[in-house]
Structures are given as C-alpha cells and as structure tokens.
C-alpha cells in the first residue's frame, strides 16, 4: 500500500489572514474539512488494497470514485494553504510568471478577472484554478466541480481558490463574490511563482 496521506500543518496561525479570512473558519476548514479528505483518501486506498489481496473487485467503481474525490480534495487544500500568506507577506509575481500571464491573458488584472469569474460561477461546490499545461507550455484558468471534475489531465495547478461554502460561510454567509474579492488580498505570489518555475521544467507530453 502506498504511504498514507497526512494532514499538513498550516504555514501560519489560524488568525494570520484576518481580516480577509477569519480564524474560526480557517480552523474548521483545516482541522475538520481538510482532515476529512485525508481520512477519506486513506480509507479508499485501504479498501482498494484489501480488494487486490482478496481478488474481489466488485466495489472498485465505488472506491475509485472515493479515492479521486478525497485525494483531489487533499491535494487542492494543501495547495490552497500555501497559496496564501498574511497581508504584505505574499510578494508579487516573478518576472517569468508575470510575462507568462501577460502573454496568455493580456495582463494580471485580466487573469484575475477570469479566475474570479470562473470561481464565482462554479456550479455547486468547487474551485477556481490557475494552472500550467506542459503539453503546450500554456497557462490556463479552469473551474473544478467538487475537487476532481472538469480538469485537463496534464494541467499542473499553481493557484487555487476554494469556493466550497465551508471556506467562507461563517464570515461571508452566501456572499461568494465578496469572499473571492477578499481572498485576492492574501494570495502568496511567491508560492505561485515558485510552483510555476517548477512546472516549467516538465516536458511536453507529445
């Protein structure tokens, strides 16, 4: 069985992102919701290991879906925490990232407007994603329904915003747009730039 998934520690205190993201929500989000995805992914892996040992795959469809859902939730949440930093601590896009954003979106404000619109209009629960596609060396904005749907297989997520209601409901109630606008104030561009530099080392898949 592969190594178990573990819940990463937050890289800052619960209240470090206030007033934009409140500490009470952050604690619930990290300690309970994210942990739930970690536990769910590990349970699915264990069930699939037991199925292989027994040669009994009648529930493989169920557990494969559970693994995709929970493991994707764990991955995106792990990115989400590091994609944020206290106000004034997140830096600015690197020269290379800024140039790529300008090339594919026109400028940073246009990219932010597209990602904001994508996140605002995700049906049900999901994410807005800025990603890098090594297949054609492009940047792309995507929506993710739940955690795993509507993805482009080769895209490496660089910047993600969680728009499940548990990410903002205590402070913003049903005002998703207000939450997204506030979230931009705590984006950790240093982290996004670092992820972009690593992703660019991947070769095309053709």
Residues 144-191: pLDDT tens digits?
999 999 998 899 999 999 999 999 999 999 999 999 999 999 999 999
Burial of 58 (0-12, 13-18, 19+ CB in 10 A): exposed
Query: pLDDT tens, 91-147?
Result: 999 999 999 999 999 999 999 999 999 999 999 899 999 999 999 999 999 999 999
- For the record, the structure tokens of 110 come out as 């246009």
3-class DSSP state of 139:
strand
> For the segment 4-25, what is each residue's pLDDT rounded down to a tens digit?
999 999 999 999 999 999 999 9
Domains of the chain, earliest start first: 23-82 (1.10.287.990), 95-199 (3.55.40.20)
According to the model, what pLDDT value does residue 204 have?
66
The pLDDT of residue 206: 59
Neighbouring C-beta atoms of residue 110, cutoff 10 Å: 13
The pTM of this model reads 0.95
- Residues 27 and 33: their CA atoms lie apart, in Å, by 9
């Amino acid at each position: 069985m592969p190594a178990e998934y573990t819940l990463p520690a937050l890289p800052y205190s619960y209240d470090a992102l206030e007033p934009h993201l409140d500490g009470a929500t952050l604690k619930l989000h990290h300690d309970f919701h994210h942990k739930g995805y970690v536990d769910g992914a590990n349970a699915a892996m264990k069930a699939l290991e037991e199925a292989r040992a027994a040669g009994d795959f009648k529930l493989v469809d169920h557990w494969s879906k559970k693994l995709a859902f929970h493991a994707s939730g764990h991955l995106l949440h792990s990115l989400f925490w590091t994609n944020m930093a206290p106000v004034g601590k997140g830096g600015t896009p690197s020269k290379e990232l800024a140039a790529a954003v300008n090339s594919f979106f026109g400028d940073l404000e246009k990219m932010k407007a597209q990602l904001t619109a994508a996140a605002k209009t995700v049906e049900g629960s999901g994410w807005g994603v800025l990603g890098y596609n090594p297949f054609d060396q492009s940047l792309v904005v995507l929506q993710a329904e739940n955690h795993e749907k509507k993805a482009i297989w080769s895209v490496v997520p660089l910047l993600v915003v969680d728009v499940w209601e548990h990410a903002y409901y205590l402070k913003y109630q049903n005002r998703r747009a207000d939450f997204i606008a506030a979230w931009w104030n705590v984006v950790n561009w240093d982290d996004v730039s670092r992820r972009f530099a690593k992703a660019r080392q991947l070769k095309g898949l053709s």
